[in-house]
Structure 1
């Protein structure tokens, strides 16, 4: 691009929860008038306004409406953001559910600031913001099971809005960067999950039309979660045991998925047999020829194990589902808490055939009502701490419970840019930053492409970005904060006429890693850091 040519406008899409669109970091001043930089905002569980509604469900706010709200809600030169959010339906306590925008900090506002926020009056590229707030119930269900239709609709909406903006400006198309800082633990981890396939298909179709679409995803925070097990067998007849610790006072269901390797053509016999014993001693046996088994009489079933075939990959999957271990309604069936034992007997698998087990995410998010309690594998071979009491971040090759293979279950597709986290001061991987796999578990072995700063240091947790109200700054960590920084960098690259794609991120990580000064600690393994530690400028002027 010539130095004299104008930068290319870039659309930055943010799909998240608690998107405080009126924050000063998402405004600009045009002819002494405050305007929003948010072109479109879709609150997917908002109360519709107008007939017919411009979106299939929820409420859409367009730039003109947001600008009008900024004018109407300005008192003595100060914008009353609480009033804006009440008028927009973002904060409506007449409606059931958590109101992230009413809290001091929200995940979505923090992420959106890292992706596309700027100081008021600061010279900035023309980033057009299109944001989508997912339904509260979808965010609250941390398993991620309900993400697919809403994220698919969100991406489709962002692209449709982009097409309309391009047409209004007389441009053939505008480049788009979308950040989705969500994740899940379970899934096939081979790129065939419905949401992964949808993202890959959309990116490929956009590329075929000459539209640059980049999607950034976090690597996940589950490295030390004890939620992944790898079952290798040396011989037929061998039995491996998994102990699944289910916690008391868990008001949400718990799940394990055991994904089988691809089956040889023509084979129909069961390759493994699983004997599942509850903490109260009740056992059931299931294999690949048995559809389902249950615990509990009649309509008071508290546990179920089933076997099915995943249509996308034709891989077999064993699913074990437990009812909550606590409920306020005494009529509801409860699963016993404690250790559930899974004895997996090898019937036909070879040494290279390795089933993979993941426990589904089941915790509670910051600010949301505490309901879920994360279950985990509880094997004696898994050493959580070293002799000095520090977290042990190295796998025991002989242990079935693994730290590798914990990468975000929606981040193993072909095209998304997957980012882990590291500590700025110590230059080491964040303890939680998930790892990919050393070998193929399916068609697409996947590790993070690179790592970005997700914590300032061991004692200064998180990184600074916007709180829910203008002027506020909060520290939030996790790979969810690393991914939007890379989305920001990609947008700047695209605005300069560069590619700003996955290969560009990998190339920058390789270059930045080579440029680290002598004495810098060695880079984490490829499974955790991909091509290396990115050196990105801070997106926020505040320091601590």
Structure 2
């Protein structure tokens, strides 16, 4: 078998960037480079299919720039920003839809280039690849401030929100959800169990109009929800099945929906045996339902646009004096973990700009035992081998991020695919390449820039793999098995690294063909014995539970919440899947600013045997049990709202 070799990255068909040119990958989003290299195949496109008409991105502006300056320097023919981003003076972050002309202007227009510090790719699937309705123009004004919610307001960004559930009604039987925005746009969407073959637009007379300040999706007011509930009330009872059919919320036919469970923990009335009467159980609600395509993409790498848009929508429906608590029970595994991702930095700035009137709660993550994180010190002239087990029958792409601190320019990375005795050539910082099949289609890509848009400290090398299985014979598939990744320090100074495998599991009710990959090592304790569920500092394995953390939850101003067991012995207090506080491996060297410990804790299991906590099912009166720190953070949101 001949030794595998790297091929250069192509010129982007959409961006026009020659990704193989010297320095082209530096400061860029490596996921955008990979998406163009494989013709957006990871987003259900591929060779022979045209690239998207528009790309969704999230932008961080330069230190002295604000959103109106970017609007003034651009044209809606090639850059479109939702009007909601004009509402917050001083804001340096926004989402946008861009055409290829945007990238041409970045190369030729020094003023435009000076305004944009970095940007990341969003989720390039319909409807996010179409133009916005009524985007910002230089003459646009902030949204008029009338009819906005005051007092205490709870916001939720999630999927599967049963808006007619009795848990979300007031004592008069009216909905407390004053504003509901769904980010999808089609009848035949990617909701659980559905496999769309054609796309028909949602009916705005049923799903609600498109909110003018967001430019996509559909909005229902509280009055519209109440009117629909009245129309489908039979003998004093709301026919929830018929109601959701009318509102084109077919996903709510499922008895279990994540967002409904989470919202009930944040603001529901409790159970008949344990009723709760507090401010949260009476508060006004603003709910954002993520496009199911976002939920389908459990890597979470493309949630930046959708979550930031959702947060801006919630704030735009609240009066200046409102006390707002927003819960976001979703997340990812990869990322810088130091709060410097664009989404985390944007949330931090919004919280700061609102001066104590906005709080955001986020879960610490559920992957503590998943073997998706490695950390090791690299002395001079030493190497560390990682064995990345990529599973068979994985119909989704897999990603490994290798994070290095500043000053690690002498580290090289080599990759040995399964079944190959020799590695691909070792790659130094500043280089990138593709390993392709006989037809030139990429099996994997390694993108190793000197700096990255994914974070502001050090850099990230991205190793991206094609799926290991497809039902279509023409699709390219990567080999499954152990991929050997070797980091070698060729310099004279000791450095270190963190490796994070991106999330690739299956969300509730979905059938995506995703299979979570993981690290393996002979020294990692998988015995299940007492003491085997935490890291021991003296253990030589590079695989570390400590540091496995939701990468949406490492900001400075958001509040991360870990999971505990409500009833357990002191030694069994923590949910096994949750990061711990304090950190059992706290003395291990880390990159600057890395966050590994939750800010606070809330129950996510009832006891060691009975995992999960009870919350509302999709239908009124139904109760379900879900485990995970997604159930911890809404409980903290409730507490924060009560004392706001």
State the TM bucket, normalised to the shorter chain. 0.7 to 0.9
In structure 1, the gaps of 5 or more residues are: 1-7, 92-98, 164-171, 265-269, 495-544
Contact 1:10 1:175 in 2 (8 A): yes
SS at match of 1:326: coil
Contact 2:209 2:218 in 1 (8 A): no
Specify whether residues 295 and 442 from structure 1 end up closer, same or farther in structure 2 by C-alpha distance, changes over 3 A only.
farther
User: Who is 1:465 aligned against?
Assistant: 615
Residue 249 (structure 1) aligned with residue 397 (structure 2) = no
SS at match of 2:496: coil
Alpha-carbon distance in structure 2 between the residues aligned to 1:242 and 1:335: 18
Displacement of 1:52: 6.7
Question: How many matched pairs?
Answer: 457
Displacement of 1:9: 2.9
Displacement of 1:440: 4.7
Alpha-carbon distance in structure 2 between the residues aligned to 1:116 and 1:52: 27
Alpha-carbon distance in structure 1 between the residues aligned to 2:561 and 2:265: 14
Contact 1:408 1:434 in 2 (8 A): no
Residue 430 (structure 1) aligned with residue 581 (structure 2) = no
Displacement of 1:343: 1.9
Contact 1:422 1:430 in 2 (8 A): yes
Map 1:75-474 onto structure 2 (within 5 A).
Answer: 75-91=234-250, 99=251, 101-118=252-269, 123-125=277-279, 126-163=282-319, 173-207=321-355, 212-234=357-379, 236-263=380-407, 270-281=409-420, 283-284=423-424, 285-308=426-449, 309-311=451-453, 312-348=455-491, 350-351=493-494, 353-387=495-529, 391-395=532-536, 396-427=538-569, 428-435=573-580, 438=586, 440-443=590-593, 445-474=595-624
Contact 1:233 1:349 in 2 (8 A): no
SS at match of 1:231: strand
Task: Identify the range of structure 1 (106-115 vs 431-440) with the bigger mean alpha-carbon deviation.
Answer: 431-440
Alpha-carbon distance in structure 2 between the residues aligned to 1:139 and 1:52: 23
Displacement of 1:444: 5.3
Specify whether residues 463 and 354 from structure 1 end up closer, same or farther in structure 2 by C-alpha distance, changes over 3 A only.
same
Alpha-carbon distance in structure 2 between the residues aligned to 1:410 and 1:387: 31
CA offsets 1:198-234 (integer angstroms, 9 cap, x no match): 1011111111xxx510000000001111111112123
Displacement of 1:348: 1.7
Moved over 4 A (4+): 119-124
Task: Please give the root-mean-square deviation of Cα atoms over the aligned residues, in Å.
Answer: 2.1
Displacement of 1:458: 1.9
Q: Which of 220, 224, 228 does residue 61 from structure 1 map onto?
A: 220
Contact 2:369 2:577 in 1 (8 A): yes
What is the TM-score when the length of structure 1 is the normalising length?
0.80
Residue 16 (structure 1) aligned with residue 158 (structure 2) = yes
Alpha-carbon distance in structure 1 between the residues aligned to 2:348 and 2:541: 34
Alpha-carbon distance in structure 2 between the residues aligned to 1:347 and 1:386: 38
Alpha-carbon distance in structure 2 between the residues aligned to 1:459 and 1:314: 42
What is the TM-score when the length of structure 2 is the normalising length?
0.68
Alpha-carbon distance in structure 1 between the residues aligned to 2:276 and 2:519: 50
SS at match of 2:642: helix
Contact 1:385 1:392 in 2 (8 A): no
Residue 478 (structure 1) aligned with residue 625 (structure 2) = no
